[in-house]
Amino acid sequence: MNIGLAFETPAAPLSGVDLTRQRRTQRLVDSHLRRRGRPDHDSVVVAGNGIGALSFAARLARSPEFAGRVTVVAPPIAESRRLINGVSLRGRAADYICAALGVTHARLLSEICGGEAGGLTANRQTAAMAYAGAGGAWQFTRPGAWQGGAAGSARPIVYGTRNSRITGAMWSLMTELGIRYVPEKAESADQLRAMAAGSAPLLVNATVNGRLLGAAAPPPTRMVLATQVPFTVAAGGLRRPAEPQTAFAPLVRRDGAVDVGYFTPFRDPASPQATWYGIIARVVDTAARVDKDSELSTMTDELYGIGAALGLEPHDPEETLGRAMVPASPVRAPGPSAPGTLELKRAYSVGAPCYYADGMISAGLGGLLAAEAVIRGDDPDRAIRHATRALRWHNYLWWLETTRIPLATDLLMRLNVNLAMAYPHSAGFRLWAASA
């Protein structure tokens, strides 16, 4: 059902590809909402300052219903060169973030880059198995393109940039939106309620603390280990299978699972010499005994070794290398939030983060869609559950492929990358590339 509430008009009228993206995003949002009524709340207080929180706050602050009635409570964004959070921003994620902020991709990217943005886009994606050959040097099986074919798509599939720069840029683009900002850690529902700009606020949890507003948060059953660093191109130049404007996924079968690598063009104004970025991630069951430090050092060796085979050198790793062990959200979608609250982060988290480049798209989509639902008096939990079904399913299948049938995945990848990656990866193109 198209209930036809247009996004508030951005500062300048959109045209061409930007207008097409806005219209397609609007259609998608409408397709996941059922009602068009009055909001149930007169204000919102958002705890958190990640992509989900900021997309949600920005879209609401741009609506007549909530203008001047949005409060964000979070410590100031700490930008550092270290790659602490996600780097690979899907083109479709940028569509959602831009729709929430009322800006174009070009505006968002130039704010991120501090000027002209270039060199951070992948228009195709390839993959191969990677293995340590005789003598320890990394080698690859025959690669294949699973998105963008041989020539590359006209649409951006992935932008590579530092996460804290994305949120920093989002904040700068939001300065004129009249959002009340409280630079504190959120501690409780009562504290948030006291900061509301109205008498009937919606309290929104977009932090990693699932218990902040009193919800039950069962312990995770899966964790994700990840190690990531920016790279410069070595004197000998880029080596295949790495190719310009192409994201490359080297997969390593090791100790009963597949370590997922991802190398993509990258830009960060704080590390201007780095033009590539790479990550290795691995999902483990919490029931298994895992030596975190030993796993992460094995994975960092893989990261550097595969980088070297691609002609890449880690860039200032003492300042930029990020190593993390973070919980995966449950496979099943969560239930509804308690009355008067919205467990936003819980609602849009679609499974294991870090290893399918789906954290930022889920956050951008969840934030935008929840705001639209709140403006229309619709149910944001239901809307997000509906809209993230495919993302959740794809994340689950990738987990099955990499942890439950790693041998079959390895064999199929060696036989035929196109076949191995056909579903859900190639079929999921519309969840990766920008809509125009």
Ligand X SMILES: Cc1cc2nc3c(=O)[nH]c(=O)nc-3n(C[C@H](O)[C@H](O)[C@H](O)COP(=O)(O)OP(=O)(O)OC[C@H]3O[C@@H](n4cnc5c(N)ncnc54)[C@H](O)[C@@H]3O)c2cc1C
Element (H, E) at 159: strand 158-160
Q: What DSSP string describes 320-387?
A: H-EEEEEEPPPSSPP-PPPTTEE-HHHHH--SS-SSSS-HHHHHHHHHHHHHHHHHTT--HHHHHHHH
**By CB under 6 A, residue 353 contacts ligand X:** yes
**By CB under 6 A, residue 228 contacts ligand X:** yes
Q: How many residues bind ligand X (CB under 6 A)?
A: 34
Q: Token pair for residue 181? A: 């900002």
Strands 201-205 and 43-47: parallel
Contacting range for ligand X; rule: CB under 6 A; set: 17-25, 84-92, 109-117, 425-433 = 84-92
Q: Tell which phi-psi region holds residue 377, choosing left (phi > 0), alpha (psi between -120 and 50) or beta.
A: left
**By CB under 6 A, residue 345 contacts ligand X:** yes
Contacting range for ligand X; rule: CB under 6 A; set: 123-131, 359-367, 402-410, 424-432 = 359-367
Q: Which of 43, 125, 163, 409 binds ligand X (CB under 6 A)?
A: 163
Cβ neighbours of 300 (radius 10 Å) = 18
**By CB under 6 A, residue 207 contacts ligand X:** yes
Binding mask 291-330 for ligand X (x = CB under 6 A): -------------------------------x-x-x----
Q: How far is the CB of 384 from ligand X (least distance, A)?
A: 12
Cα 269 from Cα 121, distance rounded (Å): 15
**By CB under 6 A, residue 47 contacts ligand X:** yes
Cβ neighbours of 339 (radius 10 Å) = 7
Contacting range for ligand X; rule: CB under 6 A; set: 49-57, 310-318, 395-403, 425-433 = 49-57
Q: How far is the CB of 421 from ligand X (least distance, A)?
A: 17
Q: How far is the CB of 3 from ligand X (least distance, A)?
A: 26
Strands 70-73 and 43-47: parallel
Residues binding ligand X (CB under 6 A)? 47-53, 73-75, 85-88, 163, 185-186, 207-209, 226, 228, 322, 324, 326, 345, 353-354, 357-361, 363
